[in-house]
Chains A and B, each alone.
Chain A
Amino acid sequence: MRFGRTPEQHAFSEALDDLLGAADVPSAARAWAGDDRSAGLKIWQRLAELSVTGLLVPESDGGVGADPVDLTVAFERLGYHGVPGPWIESVAVAPRLLGGTPEAGVLSRVASGEALVSVASGGRALDADVVEQTYALESRVGLDTPPPPPLVEPGERQRAGVETNTVASATLSRATVGSEQKSVDPSRRLFDVTAGDEVVTLDPRPALELGTLACAAMLHGAGLRLLDDSVAYVKQRTQFGRPIGEFQAVKHLLADVRVALDFAAPLIHNAALELDAEVPTAARAVSAAKVAAGDAAYLASRTALQVHGAIGYTREFDLSLWILRVRALVGAWGTPAEHRARILESLVVEPVETPSRGEI
């Protein structure tokens, strides 16, 4: 039995830290929010050189054909460093979604970092204004039934999102980009989209699961960052003549964050393994990872804000980048309620294998 990252994956993670730690990502994220994408795109190129953009692209298309665990390693670090841009869409979703379709040609350029693409999730697409192409997905219930309303119909967004995650057949189209919507995280540039030229009908689920998994890993990484920054801060901030980290009230808050993050990690790792093995419970595992990572990261953000006090409540202090990012990602790629419902349904409908005594 072996459950955990390989030495190569640890090394990959460290290489990403080296690169991103020196890249002044917070400034790039702020500029991205303010319409200047140059620094963010430069980071995109540097990460492309480390093959991040080609992780899931097959070797035949110039990618590295890595597995979902590698994906989680990369996205955890992207989350940790707060990198802006359509990473989930271009790197986690597009390869599986577009592979084998008439759009597959773009993948080699995705791998090389030349092309960014976006995929609408829940009716809106991230960074549709900078990518080469935005894609939309419409769920198809059956050939004879008319397709349900487009994902962007107001009020229908939530349910449409679930449908694409659970419905086996969807229409992939090149999307028409509409107006921008303001997100709680200013570096998340969201655009309404409508379906345009139809490309193909496909099963979108494997690609969407990879997107959800990447989002979970990103949340986990953001949570780790919030914890690290908070621990550093409470050692240095003094009140009442001592570092505030000496107060048990502060210590306990931070310890609870560590517990939550530590227990999200194995769920993410397992979901990656299950997706790779294409086992029937993979979707449930992905949902569990997303829920746990979202809860842990949100706890980290709440706690980070609280132990920082007023300075954490400001935009100019970098902590806010992660606080706002986490708030947005918690509800992206399926809300906690949707994922919990999916887990519950799976547990109730599919028989759960009870582990043998030896396994307990």
Chain B
Amino acid sequence: MRSGEPGGVAHLYVHLPFCAARCGYCAFVVEVGRDDARDAYLDAVLAELERERGRLGALETLYLGGGTPTLMGAGRLSALLAAISPLLAPGAEVTIEANPETVDQNLMAALAGAGVNRVSLGVQSTHPHLLGVLDRQAGPDDAARAVRAVRAAGIPRLSVDLLLGVPGQSQADLAADLAWVTEVGPDHVSWYELEFKEGSAIASGPHLPPDEDMSADLYEEAVEGLEAAGYRWYELANFCRPGAECRHSLAYWRARDYVGLGVGAVSTVGGGRWRNAPGLDRYVAALGRGDAPPRTQEPLDADTRRRERWMLGTRVDEPLDMAWAGSPDRPAALDVLEAGGLLERGRGTVRLTRRGRLLQNAVMQEIMDF
């Protein structure tokens, strides 16, 4: 395995899997009804941090994701952040994901004090009926309250997560979400298309995803609405006010090395990738014994890395530097795609057009041999 980037890994993800209930569309590594295990889990994560510390350099970004990280409670989160802070570079981005109904001013104040400077709020929808379809715990007013709490605590940066293509969602529903975002004015918005993931409750019916034209209409409406409100469509599903990109996510899209701690977390360092196995107890037990957590290794050969750089690098609006990414498997496809208005070329660079972005999968299939 090649060693990582010089200076060490600069991006750290910590997975905090506890949730009050599993939302019907969610297929992430989540633990429901295991709040009793939070202390042990914290210890285990800290132990894993110790094991991985050697790989880490000055951290440019830290991301506490979930699950519902806020369910860890102020004390444990502060302890976790205290252990990590010495590793942070000056000006590091420290994000925590938060479910609106779990946010209050005290918690936010504690997090601000512990170094959090960015909150990603899982709003998903502003409509009670769609929140119902999604099995969300939060009501429509929780989001606004959470926003106030974040701001009152002085946390400078706020992102909201929204979903489109929720069964039953009309263009008018989406327009209302847009109006809400415009009014609240977060500096970053992630507007994901709802995926019907294998294994999630929603994928087993009775709801169906909207057809291609409907979801394209919704997508375009979201993009155009946010752009009109002054956001930049800087990644397929992400929008920001000038300078407010999510630096942690950018690291993924730029194919940088990162380390992930916790159950289900993924790390990519040098030529290798590994994933901690899901399963809270096994994770806690292994680290308790002083062992590495159960993991699956995935060696990444040069071709895989090259294809991933294309796959990731064409998600963002900055041109992909082909000298950095490596050559396309089918260079001739670039001409066809350019002529068809799906991508633009600069000097040694490639960037998807607006139409091309919505067809990123198809474009990738043309260019690369996955």
A, B co-complexed: no
Chain B residues engaging chain A, CB cutoff 8 angstroms: none
Chain A residues engaging chain B, CB cutoff 8 angstroms: none
